[in-house]
Amino acid sequence: MNKKKQRTALITIAAVWILSAAMLFTATSVFAQNQANGTDLYSQLGLFSEVLSKLKQSYVTELNDEELIKAAIIGMLGSTDPHTNYFTKSEYEDFTTSTKGSFGGLGIQIDKIGDYVTVISPIEGTPAFKMGITAGDKIIRVDDKSIVGASTEEAIKYMRGEVGTTVVITISRPGVSKPLEFKITRETIKIKSVPYSFKLDNGAGYIRLSQFNENTTLELRSALAALETEGINGLIIDLRWNPGGLLDQAVDTVNEFIGSGKLVVETKGRMPSANRQYFTRNFTQSRDYPIIVLVNEASASASEIFAGSLQDWDKALVMGKTTFGKGSVQQLIPLINGNGVKITTAYYYIKSGRCIHKKSNDKILLGKEITQSDISAEEELNLKQIFYTVNNREVYGGGGITPDIEVEGVPLTNLAMELRRQNIFFNFAVDYMVEQDHSISKDVVVGDQLLNRFLGYASAHDISYTQADLDSTDTYLRTMIKSELLRTVYGDLEAYKTTIQLDNQFQEAVALISRFRTLDDLFAHASAQIEN
């Protein structure tokens, strides 16, 4: 430890001892009875000071003061919830990066869950997303370096590097027996809140809202203006896999649909300063066309505020799966040494009075054991908590946003997952388009000849499959081949328009927009579904 760090650590230790002694003196004269039974804060600080002193005096080797205090702080915060964390200065900078315009890396959002740095969400359009990295993947090695037990700061340090260089990450995936290796080329990751927006064949608009950063409201307004200029008869807003982001952006985007002076969300905590209400501020044009908001289990935080608020104000039908349930508020507080601590100070409650937060998630993220029966019991209890929208529709609370209409997603087959993992679709398209001189029609049809050529390419890259595999993934294979061919010539948007046709939740939303021309008709249909 250098002299400056050693001096800081010693001052910290001394401060703890002096503070503990002062508190003990106060406790002796004022809180003697509580101190006697060891239940008050002052006696517990005294106990901490005593253990620290004995450890420094008696441990077999010399201990690093700074590391001891850091470990004590992390251990203390670990007894609360998974979102209350200690940050070094560099960790704080990494934490705030996701709300800015761009950063360098692989394109994954990660968090420390138990001993594993775990993928929370791949960012659309990035190298990691294209290769099939998915939420829940546990990163166990970066190149030849094991990161089991490592902090998110350490993992980020190993994964980030110069743009154009490659890194091999090894992941453990639930349900897959062997570790999977991905060789990924680093890129400058540009974050867009609205990566895709376009008009559908049935006349409705589609907006993919991937996260809530500082540009979200402007990007959403721009997308809405463009679609409305084209003339749309409905709108699908896709919030699936949206991990959330900035609260003010959630409020301002809701504002686009409900007008000014409306309560969107409030926070409630123990401290008076944690209790706040957030209202819309701007006058906006009336939008009377039917709107469907798509959500799933990975829609979290600000995306839940957005979806739940449009549901509460009867401005959209929510469709998909119950959302994640991340409804706690954190405050980042600077510390005297330049570091910081992020503390959960409140919970979010949307207009109807529903609390978004699902407490079982905290236990899971902390690595605590929770059974499927525990989860089922919590979900059953949530459905018994009935709230009402502004037009008196019943909605349910207690954790996450429950959709008006539930639609299951369809998981990838093992063959499809392996093809994506090894980037076979992308690599085949690159090689094939070189032969085609990068010329292809947007209406290209993947016939049997092209499919068989792709399968030969896959086999040459050690992809094995059975006839049953091919039968179950035929449509998927042809669609993904077409998507990657289009990407090489026309870009991500045309590729996305192709692949989303495989999405049954999206297709259900499109069908409802085609069938029902007003929101009231959509709500009536959803109510009839529940009654049946």
Between 252 and 150, the higher pLDDT residue: 252
Which one is catalytic: 262, 321, 326, 358? 326
The mean pLDDT value for 392-417 works out to 91
Per-residue model confidence (pLDDT) at position 275: 95
Element housing 342 (H / E): strand 340-350
The mean pLDDT value for 217-233 works out to 97
Q: What percent of the chain has pLDDT over 70?
A: 89
Q: Which of 190, 213, 246 is the last residue of a domain?
A: 190
Per-residue model confidence (pLDDT) at position 12: 39
Q: Which of 357, 388, 406 is the last residue of a domain?
A: 406
* Number of domains composing the chain: 4
Q: 34-38, 239-243, 327-331, 465-469: which has the minimum mean pLDDT?
A: 34-38
Per-residue model confidence (pLDDT) at position 191: 76
For residues 291 and 358, state if they share a domain.
Answer: yes
For residues 303 and 244, state if they share a domain.
Answer: yes
Helix (H, G, I), strand (E, B) or coil at 158: helix
62 part of a folded domain: yes
- For the stretch 424-456, pLDDT in tens is 998 898 889 888 888 899 999 999 999 999 999
Per-residue model confidence (pLDDT) at position 16: 37
Which one is catalytic: 301, 309, 328, 352? 301
Domain that holds residue 355: 196-329+342-406
What are all long-range contacts of 90-97, with beta carbons under 8 Å and residues at least 24 apart?
90/153, 91/151, 91/152, 91/153, 92/332, 92/339, 92/340, 94/152, 94/153, 94/156, 95/332, 95/342
For residues 268 and 290, state if they share a domain.
Answer: yes
For residues 306 and 391, state if they share a domain.
Answer: yes
For residues 431 and 386, state if they share a domain.
Answer: no
- For the stretch 180-196, pLDDT in tens is 999 999 888 777 899 99
For residues 213 and 274, state if they share a domain.
Answer: yes
167 part of a folded domain: yes
Q: Which of 164, 190, 216 is the last residue of a domain?
A: 190
Per-residue model confidence (pLDDT) at position 230: 96
Which one is catalytic: 238, 252, 312, 362? 312
Summary mean pLDDT of the chain = 86
For the chain, the helix, strand and coil percentages under 3-state DSSP, each to the nearest 5: 45, 20, 35
Beta bridge pairs of residue 276: 267
Per-residue model confidence (pLDDT) at position 532: 66
Q: Check pLDDT > 80 for residue 7.
A: no
Is residue 301 annotated as part of the catalytic site, yes or no? yes
- For the stretch 455-487, pLDDT in tens is 999 999 999 999 999 999 999 999 999 999 998
Per-residue model confidence (pLDDT) at position 39: 59
The mean pLDDT value for 272-291 works out to 93
Note the pTM of the prediction, 2 decimals.
Answer: 0.77
For residues 271 and 325, state if they share a domain.
Answer: yes
350 part of a folded domain: yes
Helix (H, G, I), strand (E, B) or coil at 340: strand
143 part of a folded domain: yes
* CATH number of the domain encompassing residue 184: 2.30.42.10
- For the stretch 361-379, pLDDT in tens is 888 777 778 888 888 888 8
Q: Check pLDDT > 70 for residue 327.
A: yes
For residues 260 and 205, state if they share a domain.
Answer: yes
520 part of a folded domain: no
pLDDT-derived band at 24 (thresholds 50, 70, 90) equals very low
